[in-house]
Amino acid sequence: MNFSQLQERVRSELLRRISRGTLSVSLLAKQTGVGQPHLSNFLHGRRQLSLTTLDKILRAQNLEIADLLPSARGAGRALLTEQIGEVGQVPLVSQAVALAEPYMRATSVQRILEFPAETLRSMRPRCTASRRQWERFVAVQLSAADVFGMEPVLFPSAIVVLDRHYNSLAPYRGATSAQPHLYAVRNHQHLSIRYVDFLASRLILRTHKPEIPAEVIEPLGEESPNDLLIGRVALILNEP
């Protein structure tokens, strides 16, 4: 792991703690003596930190380098999105983990799903700089409440595979595509699967049923709309 990769892992861990409500930029500034604008620019991928500042953050948050490394996963294989021969492996995790965890820990994985490796390999990424170090594909299972208004696209107990390296609102299939874009969105600390449009720095969340009113969410503080996009829905498994 080089210095740039270390910074990305620190950034991802801090964003995870902020997302869970255990940390804020103002608190981190008080702990480290580093200015909030400086920290905010780092968290949004607009600048890097010096080694001295990085060390202050690690000490303030009781982080060791080992905490930022992916946990031992059977020689680094089983819980990554791997391509082993013709099979790609995707971890099924809770929605909270998919929402906030950059790296999948062994204890977070409920089971492994297998897909043709070429299917995963053919998907095009398009993500912000801060997202590039996240593990790319994860799967989550949806409840009846999660799929309300999304039938027949999604049914209760459906499993969706999320491409967390696609948190752009640029059309995946080209600018002329009329097909709606289905994303996993961070919606008030919960994960929602919705069609998403962008309007005046806000995200417009729509269900499959036009009679259900759209929901409007907007970034908080210095977040961007892309920060609210967990990833594109890449595959859907509607289980009977």
Domain residue limits, the chain: 3-68, 82-237
For 82-237, the fitting CATH number among 3.30.428.10, 1.10.10.10, 3.40.50.1580, 2.10.109.10 is 2.10.109.10
Q: Are 156 and 164 in contact (CB under 8 A)?
A: no
Residues 6+ apart with CB under 8 A from 72: 106
Q: Is the pTM of this model over 0.85?
A: no
200: left (phi over 0), alpha (psi -120 to 50) or beta: left
Q: Are 46 and 39 in contact (CB under 8 A)?
A: no
| pLDDT, tens digit (0-9, with 9 covering 90-100), for 123-177 | 999 988 878 878 899 999 999 999 999 999 999 999 999 999 998 888 776 544 5
Does 1.10.260.40 match the CATH number of domain 3-68? yes
Residue with tokens 């069609």: 195
What's the confidence (pLDDT) of residue 85?
A: 55
pLDDT at 80 over 50: no
What's the confidence (pLDDT) of residue 83?
A: 41
